[in-house]
Amino acid sequence: MPILNPPSSILNAREYTSHVSRALPAPVQIYLDRTKQTSARVVPLTGDASDRRYFRVIPRQGRSFVLAVNAAPFDYGSLPFVNVAELFAAMPVPVPTILGEAADHGVLALSDLGDVTMQAHVGAAPSAEHAALYRQAVGFIETMQRRGRELASPKYVPYGIAFDVEKLTWEMDFFIKHFLEAFRGVEFAPGDRDALRAELGALVATLAAEPRVLCHRDYHSRNLMLAHGQLWIIDFQDARMGPDTYDLVSLLRDSYVDISEEDVDELLAYFLALAGRSAEGPDFRRRFDEMALQRNIKALGTFGYQTTAKSNTVYIQYIPRTLRYARAQLHKYERFAPLRDLLARYVEEFR
């Protein structure tokens, strides 16, 4: 759930215009008018890297809820968020409830999960509580994979899309364009760009060939909320099929949180035990590391894009940790030596 702005931004819906230089966005006002909640207070929330905007609505009576305002109208029945929410609720794993909609104005009303992300909570939590939350999060991954197999149906969007060669290659090219060239100002020597694409392509081919399971796609500490004494999963609309290591990598090689190698080992062993696959430990760790390298490189591309194309500098602070994670994988396996050498020519942190 997006994060609460300062308390001064809490306004009565009808008073919003007189207190700030811009009116309450029309889609929000329309939803409030339709649901006869014009006396509610409205709290603009800090959004994510998408083009959606979020507002907390606090009625005079009843519980608060959140309006997710999309950039354009949508068809409710075919909206991926709605489709995946139905799938996840059937498993079940905890996701926000859809309370209403004004699809013709791009609005979804969702249950309010508060403001505490797992990222925010673990920094202040005792180590025992920290460990328990991560075990709970890993347990949800096992549920999504197991129940995802049992519930597989073409009526659910994620079963028709995957981390295939095309998608993974696009992400690697995005990294080259937006992190190396745009953010770091790299100018490749003749042949190096093509050589880099070839090495990244070999990694992509390995990952795309793996058996696929249901993946959340962005299963990290900013997309897990702590509310009502447990974790909740958000931002799941891009779920798709992919390697069984993908969501574990998103969680345990998270650009937003430091996680020790000891904790990674323990949590991977916990996942394999839940799945009845403990004998796979060494091979699973190798596959985890390969997926981590791709995922961290992809994240660098996203951070570069947000900084240079969107003028959103908040993600710069997460680049050093992501570079460290990627460097660790590059230096751990000899098969990555050619890729490591190419990247090290242009990114000092990979040397």
Name 280's Cβ contacts closer than 8 Å, sequence gap at least 6: 272
Name 77's Cβ contacts closer than 8 Å, sequence gap at least 6: none
pLDDT, position 50: 72
> Chain centroid to CA 230: how far?
19
Distance separating alpha carbons of residues 100 and 103, to the nearest angstrom = 9
Distance separating alpha carbons of residues 42 and 83, to the nearest angstrom = 27
pLDDT, position 4: 44
Instruction: Identify the bridge partners of residue 12 per DSSP, sorted by sequence position.
Output: 41
Distance separating alpha carbons of residues 68 and 55, to the nearest angstrom = 7
pLDDT, position 47: 65
Listed by start position, the domains of the chain span 3-111, 118-350
Distance separating alpha carbons of residues 117 and 224, to the nearest angstrom = 6
A 10 A CB-CB count for 91 gives 17
Distance separating alpha carbons of residues 143 and 149, to the nearest angstrom = 10
Statement: 118-350 belongs to CATH 3.90.1200.10 = yes
Angle between helices 319-332 and 281-308 (to 10 degrees): 140
Strands 224-227 and 41-46: unpaired
DSSP 8-state class, residue 139: H
Distance separating alpha carbons of residues 13 and 117, to the nearest angstrom = 26
Q: Do residues 56 and 28 touch, judged by C-beta distance below 8 A?
A: no
The whole-model pTM stands at 0.91
Burial class (CB in 10 A: 0-12, 13-18, 19+), 328: middle
pLDDT, position 181: 98
pLDDT, position 93: 98
Fold designation for 3-111: Phosphorylase Kinase; domain 1 (3.30.200)
In one-letter notation, the amino acid at residue 142 is E
Give which of 223, 226, 282, 274 is closest to 247, Cα–Cα.
223
pLDDT, position 23: 74
pLDDT, position 16: 39
pLDDT, position 2: 54
Mean pLDDT by 10 residues, the chain (351 residues): 42 39 82 94 81 93 95 96 98 98 98 95 82 96 98 98 98 98 98 98 98 98 94 97 98 96 97 98 97 98 97 97 98 97 98 95
Distance separating alpha carbons of residues 256 and 314, to the nearest angstrom = 12
Q: What is the 3-state secondary structure (H, E, C) of 47-91?
A: CCCCCCEEEEEECCCCCCEEEEECCCCCCHHHCHHHHHHHHHHHC
pLDDT, position 7: 35
